Amino acid sequence: MFMTTGYALLTPGRKLEPWTFERRDLRPDDVRIRITYCGVCHTDLHAIEGATEVPLVPGHEFVGEVLAVGPEVTAFKVGDPVAVGNIVDSCGKCVACLDGEETYCLEFPTLTYGGVDRHDGTPRYGAYSHEMVVRDHFVYPLPESLDPAGVAPLMCAGITVWQPLHRLGVTSGTRVGVVGLGGLGHLAVKFAKALGASVAVFTTSPAKRDDALALGADEVVVSTSPDEMNAHALAFDVIIDTASGEHDISPYVLTLDFDGTICMIGIPPRYEVDSMALLRGRRRLTASGSGGVRDTREMLAFAATHGITADVEVLPAPQVQVALDRLARNDVRWRFVLDFGSD
Amino acid sequence: MFMTTGYALLTPGRKLEPWTFERRDLRPDDVRIRITYCGVCHTDLHAIEGATEVPLVPGHEFVGEVLAVGPEVTAFKVGDPVAVGNIVDSCGKCVACLDGEETYCLEFPTLTYGGVDRHDGTPRYGAYSHEMVVRDHFVYPLPESLDPAGVAPLMCAGITVWQPLHRLGVTSGTRVGVVGLGGLGHLAVKFAKALGASVAVFTTSPAKRDDALALGADEVVVSTSPDEMNAHALAFDVIIDTASGEHDISPYVLTLDFDGTICMIGIPPRYEVDSMALLRGRRRLTASGSGGVRDTREMLAFAATHGITADVEVLPAPQVQVALDRLARNDVRWRFVLDFGSD
């Protein structure tokens, strides 16, 4: 074992503090990574505010540099730039894992933080820290052409919106609606546009109109305006709903064309939809969370080809509390990234 | 106008009575039909019990013989055996109608009973009667190889389950689950088997096991048994849920494989599903109601090719009350059909 430093919730609340803790020695298939940038995801905020077990070290979308590799690792060498997302291990044997869908591992994947390592049972501490050890299968080469700080959020927010766009066959001419313009939504706009779709952003904030258009959206629909919503009946093939709070999705469903699909990214306890909104159009409701290794590789290759990164505000890691407090107020455009090379 | 006789709800309640009423004179594109058999659908029972306007003449799945045609009708002639379902007109101009999806007419289709004729505003009276007038576009040739009484329920129950099976791509090797074994469910089993699928019936009634197997189902899953349900995790590609009452669909959703789809036929006010059941498998929830002219034609052709009709219990039309009362107790295997040629 070796020691590293990071930021942890040590007592319940919302205040993270500097903390020094142990990382495991390398197993044969492990990669030791010096973390340079880590994104600040809404999930981190929820995990902190809902924490029942401490210490909690958040952080599950990061990039860095390989410091060492285990003896069986062939895909990486010391000095390689790499990226890691929100899962770091899985059973590897179930139908989901064998299909490259590790996110849906039937034994549940090992998350980057929260829970325990599936082999030695030690707690998983996240990437608000200077070093981490990750099984090689869940480490990805960092595309050299992309800004590393902007790649970090691709590893959670990016793959989470890429996966349904890709799976639902979004391509040239597809009409895509994106509900919510934030860390997830702004990447959904970029990916959908790069896939060739026409893209509308649904927002409750008319003030975000210019932002959405600047990101490449073709139009903006103010979802609190019945007139604007009615004018978009049957207007979309696919809607990616990135809004995190509970909200009535039926008005969005009615903007789907026949056989259209709305994909939920947020996770309230239940999804509910007006039955006639779904039935009279044979529309489909689905949900998606992150993506497996195969899709993550494809997402990174696509991002590199199209020059897609997140729009980020980089803060020195010691300012983690500023990032969390501003994120809690939705005061971010569009993702905070903590710089672990500067402290 | 001309007079016909049938059975109507004349005062709120559940008792139908013989009634004599007017049908319109033929418009240029109308077909006058002598009704021979009319199915008794659960929807009829709901319409009767919930009726706020009387007289109500139920009946929306029937077969008969052409008695006369308007001057512009070319597809039918006097004496042709024909079949009609639950819609008898639509705007003909909206994107849905132009796409052969008249069920989803944006101006709402004219139903076989309930509401009014879209041209002259007269009340629509259904097919618990001896004669009806229907616009030619919504009249279908009755396949001669099939038993007419068994075809009547195909026109509502049949198309309602055929449409999602067809749209969701059920074919050889598809693993289909059917929730509920009744008028809809027994036809879903027949169509899915004929499409080449393996079929399981979910039922709360272990007593229906032999019936399901006799209909061609490959297996029966007792949905009240957690052991049986758990043994079928990830077992299905498509589930057709024909249960009419409100019920928790999440246990069924968990038996879908990754990217599988559950299609709801019943119409509670809202569809609800546990979010993780949908998300952890990227499963899809959809709904379907009946089908348009194109799909109905395909359904009838498929039924003729594969010799599929509903399993029916034929009652003389004057016994309509017996049919309704037994249907209210679910005492039917699997569809009542009223014989209007015998009274």
Cβ-Cβ contacts under 8 Å between A and B: the total is 99
pLDDT score of B305 more than 80: yes
Cα B119 to chain centroid distance, Å, stands at 25
**Identity of the amino acid at A210:** D
Residue B63, pLDDT score: 98
Query: How far, in Å, are A181, A295, B191 from residue B183 at the CA level?
Result: 46, 43, 13
| Residues A251, B261: Cα–Cα separation, whole Å | 22
The pLDDT, as a whole number, for residue B246 is 83
Burial A192-216 (b: 16+ CB within 10 A, else e): bbbbebbbbbbbeeeebbebbeebe
Interval A310-321 mean pLDDT: 98
Q: Are A336 and A342 in contact (CB under 8 A)?
A: no
Closest to A286 (Cβ–Cβ): which among B272, B284, B289?
A: B284
| Residues on chain B bordering chain A, Cβ-to-Cβ distance under 8 angstroms | 95-96, 99, 101, 104, 106, 164, 167, 234, 258-259, 261, 264, 267-276, 278-289
Tell me the average pLDDT across B304-332. 97
Shortest alpha-carbon distance between residue A298 and chain B (Å): 18
A77-81, A244-248, B252-256: the lowest-pLDDT one: A244-248
Query: Which ipTM score applies to this complex?
Result: 0.92
Half-sphere exposure (Cβ direction) of A142: Cα atoms closer than 13 Å: 28
Which residues of chain B are within 8 Å of residue A271 when distances are taken between CB atoms? Answer: 272-273, 275, 278, 285
Q: What is the mean pLDDT of chain A?
A: 96
Say whether domain A2-147+310-339 belongs to CATH 3.90.180.10.
yes
Question: Quick check: B342 pLDDT over 90?
Answer: no
| Residue A246: predicted pLDDT | 82
Q: Mark yes or no for CB contact A279/B259 under 8 Å.
A: no
Mean pLDDT across B3-32: 97
Residue B102 · residue B118 · CB < 8 Å: no
Residue in A270, A278, A286 closest to B282 by CB = A286
Judged by DSSP in three states, B75 sits in coil
Answer whether A101 sits within 8 Å of B258, measured CB to CB: yes
- DSSP string of B15-52? -EEEEEEEEPPPPTTEEEEEEEEEEE-HHHHHHHHT--
Nearest to B286 among A264, A270, A284 (CB): A284
Q: Hey, are the CB atoms on A267 and B282 less than 8 Å from each other?
A: no
* B283 to chain A: closest CA residue: A286
Q: Decide: A122 and A24 in contact? Cβ < 8 Å.
A: yes
pLDDT-derived band at B135 (thresholds 50, 70, 90) equals very high
In chain B, the percentage of residues whose pLDDT exceeds 90 is: 93
pLDDT of residue B244: 81
| A218 burial type by CB count under 10 A (0-12 exposed, 13-18 middle, 19+ buried) | middle
Q: Where do we find the tokens 């498509």? A: B238
- Work out the widest C-alpha separation in chain A, in whole angstroms: 63
Q: Are B110 and B166 in contact (CB under 8 A)?
A: no
Q: How far apart are CA A254 and CA A283, in angstroms?
A: 9
* Contacts for A25 with CB less than 8 Å, ≥ 6 apart: A1, A2
Selected for mutation to probe chain A from B286, B288, B295 (highest A CB count within 10 Å) is B286
Chain B residues with CB-CB distance to A292 below 8 A = none
User: How far apart (Å, rounded) are the C-alpha atoms in residues A111 and B17?
Assistant: 67
H or E element that contains B318: none
pLDDT digits (tens, 9 = 90+) for A268-294: 899 999 999 999 999 999 999 889 999
Query: What is the nearest CA distance from A135 to chain B, expressed in angstroms?
Result: 23
Is the pLDDT at B343 greater than 80? The verdict is no
Convert the pLDDT of each residue in B183-203 to its tens digit.
999 999 999 999 999 999 999
pLDDT tens readout for residues A214-254: 999 999 999 999 999 999 999 999 999 999 878 999 999 99
Q: For testing the chain B interface, which of A162, A280, A288, A294 should be mutated: the one with the most B CBs within 10 Å?
A: A280
Q: Are B242 and B266 in contact (CB under 8 A)?
A: yes
Distance in angstroms (rounded) separating the CA atoms of residues B198 and B193 = 6
Task: Determine the pLDDT at residue B179.
Answer: 97
From A99, A164, A279, residue closest to B289, measured CB to CB: A279
Which residues of chain B are within 8 Å of residue A268 when distances are taken between CB atoms? Answer: 275
Q: Is the pLDDT of residue A266 over 80?
A: yes
Min Cα separation A56/chain B (Å):
24
Are B240 and B263 in contact, with CB atoms under 8 Å apart?
yes
What is the value of pTM for the model shown? Answer: 0.94
User: In the 8-state DSSP scheme, what is residue B3?
Assistant: E
Which candidate in A286, A288, A294, A295 is best for mutational testing of the B interface (most B CBs within 10 A)? A286
pLDDT at B251 over 70: yes
Min Cα–Cα distance to chain B from A183, Å: 20
Token pair listed for A44: 């981190």
Chain A residues in contact with B272 (beta carbon < 8 A): 270-272
Say what the pLDDT of residue A343 is: 62
Q: What does the pLDDT read at residue A178?
A: 98
User: Is there a contact between A284 and B284 if contact means CB atoms under 8 Å apart?
Assistant: yes
Nearest CA-CA distance, residue B21 and chain A, Å: 32
Q: Enter the DSSP assignment of B116.
A: B
Is there a contact between B54 and B19 (Cβ–Cβ < 8 Å)? no
- Rounded Cα distance between A158 and A242, Å, is 12
pLDDT for B245: 79
How confident is the model over B72-107, as pLDDT tens digits? Answer: 999 999 999 999 999 999 999 998 999 899 999 999
* Helix intervals (H) in B69-168: 95-98, 148-151, 157-167
Class of domain A158-287: alpha beta
Mean pLDDT of B32-51: 96
At A199, is the pLDDT very low, low, confident or very high (cuts 50, 70, 90)? very high
Quick one: closest CA in B to A99, which residue?
Answer: B258
Dump pLDDT digits (tens) for A10-47: 999 999 999 999 999 999 999 999 999 999 999 999 99
Domain-wise residue ranges, chain A: 2-147+310-339, 158-287
Q: Average pLDDT for residues B38-52, to the nearest whole number?
A: 95
